[in-house]
Structures are given as structure tokens and as C-alpha cells.
């Protein structure tokens, strides 16, 4: 599976792991920034998160139209580059700045990473025969969940460590003050930026030549009669084997007949 020609299974799984480390982890810290640093209510936070949902919806609709025309690598790079930009803006965000100046940029650029999810998932599943597509899709899904789990654990640890060190250097602040928390949130943003940048590097180097998503089907293309090529090949192999066996039987029968006739002729001659 990992060496299946044309699927790029290994690079795509690594890409998804590090990409979703940054994506879901940053999506976790953004609401915390609104509530713990800006001290907004849950309703105010929810309103500020609305552009993220709208951006994700538009991204997936547009992806559905362009995925058949734009090379998959380009789409993945666009999605990851947008997420990198979102992480950088979050890490440099000014607490007292207007929502529209920086926070809004984070909201609309982060969900564009969904392009990479759609394209990578189609590439992984369509590159395998029918009996292996479920396994390939499961591995892809596990990579996203594992990346999210590991990302949240590691990044939260880094954020807490940085906040604790900042608090020791500035004892005038309490441990839960916005200034202390923001130091850790910035560290979390840079951590997410690093993981998504690594994913972007993998996309640039590791998935070159994958073509259009969903159209590279060297094994699972359908024949006119609806059979898979792989099944047709197996059917032909079985038919060839049966034909060969039948021919061998015919030869054996013919040889036995010749031997019998020869023996009869010899007996007649002796008499």
C-alpha cells in the first residue's frame, strides 16, 4: 500500500498529520484568545467565529468546481500556504487591535486548508483498487485524528511552559492574567506555524506529479461491461489456466490412444 505507484501514500499521510496538527490546534486556541485574553462572552466569541464557517463553506464549494481542472499539488499548496499565513497573523496579533485588522484575517484564511483535506483524501482513495480503498481512507482519517491529538497535547504543553516562564519573569501578573496567557498563545501560534510549514514543504517536494485529484485510477478504472480491470485480469488468468489444463488433458488422452493403437498393432503383427 505504501509503495503503490502514483498514490504518494507516505507523503500525503505525513502532510495530513502535520497539517491538521496546526489547523485544529490553532482552531482550538483562537476561541481561547477571544475569551481568556479579550475577555469576551461566549456569544461574542461565537459571533467572531462565524467568518470561519463561511470561509470553510465557500472553500469547499469552490474546491468542488476546480478540483477537476487544477493540479492537486497546486491546490494543496494553496491551502497550506493560507494556513501558514493564518498562524503567522495569530502569532503577531495585537491584542488591542480592531477585530477587522488581524483577527478577521485569521478567521478567513485558516479554513482554506480544507482544500488540502479534500484533495488529499480523493488522491489516497482513488489510487487504490476497490478492495483497498476503505483501508486507505481509514489510514487517512486516523492520520488527521492522530495529528490533532498529538498537536493539542504538545502545543498546549509548550504554551503552558512559556506562560509559566513569562509569569516567573513578570511576577506582578497573576497566572491567569491575559498578559501571561497571551505569551503562551503566541508560542502556540508559532508552533502551529512550524508544523504547517513542514507540511507545506512535504507538499512541495513529496507529492509532485500526482496530477488531478480523483482521476488517477490505474487499477480501478471500469471496463465497458462494468467489471474492474483487476477482476478482469484475474478472470483471464483463471480462464487461461483452465484452457491450459484442458489442453494438457487432451494431449494425455491422445497419447494414451496412440499407445493403445500401437500395442494393438504389435499384437496383431505377432499373431
Quote the pLDDT of residue 125. Answer: 75
Quote the pLDDT of residue 94. Answer: 92
Quote the pLDDT of residue 226. Answer: 45
Q: Where are the beta strands (DSSP E) in 18-98?
A: none
What are the φ and ψ backbone dihedral angles of 214, each rounded to 5 degrees? 80, 0
Alpha-helix runs per DSSP H in 170-218: 178-206
Q: List per-block mean pLDDT (blocks of 10 residues) for the chain, which spans 271 residues.
A: 69 92 95 95 95 94 89 91 96 93 95 89 76 82 92 96 94 88 96 96 86 57 43 45 48 46 46 48
pTM, two decimals, is 0.76
Quote the pLDDT of residue 6. Answer: 63
Quote the pLDDT of residue 53. Answer: 94
Quote the pLDDT of residue 220. Answer: 42
Quote the pLDDT of residue 1. Answer: 62
Amino acid at each position: 500500500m505504501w509503495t503503490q505507484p502514483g498514490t504518494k501514500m507516505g507523503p500525503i499521510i505525513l502532510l495530513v498529520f502535520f497539517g491538521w496538527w496546526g489547523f485544529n490546534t490553532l482552531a482550538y486556541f483562537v476561541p481561547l484568545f477571544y475569551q481568556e485574553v479579550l475577555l469576551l462572552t461566549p456569544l461574542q466569541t461565537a459571533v467572531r467565529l462565524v467568518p470561519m464557517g463561511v470561509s470553510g463553506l465557500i472553500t469547499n464549494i469552490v474546491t468542488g468546481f476546480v478540483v477537476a481542472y487544477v493540479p492537486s499539488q497546486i491546490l494543496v499548496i494553496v491551502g497550506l500556504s493560507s494556513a501558514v499565513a493564518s498562524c503567522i497573523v495569530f502569532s503577531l496579533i495585537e491584542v488591542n487591535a480592531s477585530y477587522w485588522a488581524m483577527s478577521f484575517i485569521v478567521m478567513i484564511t485558516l479554513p482554506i486548508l480544507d482544500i488540502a483535506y479534500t484533495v488529499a483524501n480523493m488522491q489516497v482513495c482513488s489510487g487504490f483498487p476497490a478492495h483497498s480503498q476503505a483501508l486507505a481512507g481509514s489510514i487517512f482519517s486516523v492520520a488527521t485524528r492522530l495529528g490533532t491529538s498529538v498537536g493539542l497535547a504538545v502545543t498546549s504543553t509548550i504554551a503552558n511552559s512559556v506562560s509559566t516562564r513569562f509569569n516567573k519573569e513578570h511576577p506582578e501578573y497573576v497566572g491567569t492574567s491575559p498578559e501571561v496567557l497571551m505569551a503562551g498563545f503566541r508560542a502556540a501560534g508559532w508552533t502551529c506555524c512550524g508544523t504547517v510549514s513542514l507540511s507545506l514543504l512535504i507538499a512541495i517536494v513529496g507529492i509532485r506529479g500526482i496530477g488531478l485529484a480523483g482521476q488517477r485510477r490505474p487499477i480501478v478504472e471500469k471496463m465497458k461491461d462494468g467489471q474492474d480491470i483487476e477482476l478482469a485480469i484475474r478472470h483471464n488468468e483463471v480462464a487461461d489456466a483452465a484452457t491450459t489444463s484442458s489442453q494438457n488433458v487432451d494431449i494425455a488422452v491422445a497419447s494414451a490412444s496412440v499407445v493403445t493403437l500401437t500395442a494393438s498393432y504389435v499384437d496383431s503383427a505377432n499373431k
